[in-house]
């Protein structure tokens, strides 16, 4: 049986950057608050969490790329909200934002989690930012796990979290 490696969910000693848009402020604020709460509850120190605010979702990848290039963070969490309108603008922004956030992770080697919700209606956005179904929390948890897995991989698989 091969050895299986997984990241843990202990954020102690890790540094995180959260890049959050300001557009759709009410929704994004709930996503952001949940992401910070998740990191803290899983052991991250308050001073090891940095929040960077950008105008909208389209600006998230540029900020994330800049932060990832400094290699100062164990992982980045991206937070935003895109609600479909009556024009194709949503499709362009959603596609570019998704692809470019992924490219930041691939190019930098720094884990970048995706907490940008893309929804059809404001009600769907509210549902995805409510306690118990908050996509900001989920993105932060994914960032912790990927940062942990990155540490395991960098150690050549000799670290203990999630080894079976």
Residues 66-81: pLDDT tens digits? 999 998 999 999 999 9
CB distance 122 to 131 below 8 Å: no
Per-residue pLDDT at 4: 85
Mean pLDDT of all residues in 47-54: 98
- Residue 53: strand pairing partners: 20
Active-site residue, from 24, 42, 47, 89:
89
Residue 45 has pLDDT above 60, yes or no: yes
Rounded CA separation 153/143 (Å):
15
Contact yes or no for 32/136 (Cβ under 8 A) = yes
Task: Using the predicted structure, report yes or no on whether residue 131 has a pLDDT greater than 70.
Answer: yes
Supply the pTM of this predicted model. Answer: 0.90
H helical segments located in 73-159:
89-108, 122-127, 135-154
pLDDT band for position 163 (cuts 50, 70, 90): very low
Residue 24 annotated in active site: no
């Amino acid at each position: 049986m091969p050895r299986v490696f997984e990241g843990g969910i202990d954020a102690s000693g890790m540094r995180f950057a959260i890049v959050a848009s300001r557009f759709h402020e009410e929704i994004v604020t709930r996503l952001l608050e949940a992401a910070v709460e998740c990191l803290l509850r899983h052991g991250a120190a308050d001073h090891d969490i940095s929040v960077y605010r950008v105008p909208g979702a389209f600006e998230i990848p540029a900020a994330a790329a800049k932060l990832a290039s400094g290699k100062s963070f164990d992982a980045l969490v991206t937070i935003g909200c895109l609600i479909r309108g009556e024009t194709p603008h949503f499709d362009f922004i959603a596609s570019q934002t998704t692809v470019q956030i992924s490219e930041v992770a691939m190019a930098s080697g720094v884990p970048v989690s995706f907490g940008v919700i893309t929804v059809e209606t404001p009600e769907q956005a509210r549902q995805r930012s409510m306690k118990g179904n908050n996509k900001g929390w989920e993105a932060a948890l994914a960032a912790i796990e990927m940062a942990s897995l990155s540490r395991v991989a960098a150690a050549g698989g000799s670290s203990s979290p999630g080894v079976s």
